[in-house]
Amino acid sequence: MTRAALALLLVAISACSHEDECDSYAYAEYTCGQIAGNEREVVRVIATGMCRAARSKDPKVAAVGEVFAKEAQCAMDTVRCSDYTRCVSKVESEPIASPPQLATP
C-alpha cells in the first residue's frame, strides 16, 4: 500500500469515528432523554449537528460545540441510559470556557 493510500485510509477512518460518535450521541439523546415523542426527531437532528459542529475547523464554532463533544463521549463510553444520564449531568455541571464573542455589525 502506498503512503498516499494509507494516509487517505486513515483520514477516512477518522471521519467515520466522528460520525459514529455523533450518531451514538444523537441516539442516546433520542432514547434516554425525557423528550416527548413528537420532538424526538428534532432532538436527534440538533444533537447530530451540534456534535459535528464541535469538530469544526472554525474555533468559534468548535468552542460552542465543546459541551456537545463531551456529551457525545458519554454516549460512546456508556451502555445504559442511567450511566449516560449520570455522565451528561457531570459534564453539564463542569464550568465551560467563555463562549467566543460574536462580531457585531
Rounded to an integer, what distance in angstroms lies between the CA atom of residue 51 and that of residue 47? 6
Q: What is the largest CA-CA distance in the chain?
A: 52
Contacts of 20 (CB under 8 A, 6+ apart): none
Give burial (CB, 10 Å; 0-12/13-18/19+) of 27: middle
- Give residue-wise pLDDT tens across range 18-33: 568 888 888 888 888 7
**pTM passes above 0.85:** no
What's the number of CA atoms in the CB half-sphere (13 Å) around residue 54? 19
- More confident call, 10 vs 66: 66
In the chain, domain spans: 17-93
Cell 463562549 belongs to residue: 99
- Give residue-wise pLDDT tens across range 19-73: 688 888 888 888 887 777 788 888 888 888 888 888 888 887 777 778 888 899 9
Residue 87: pLDDT band (50, 70, 90) is very high
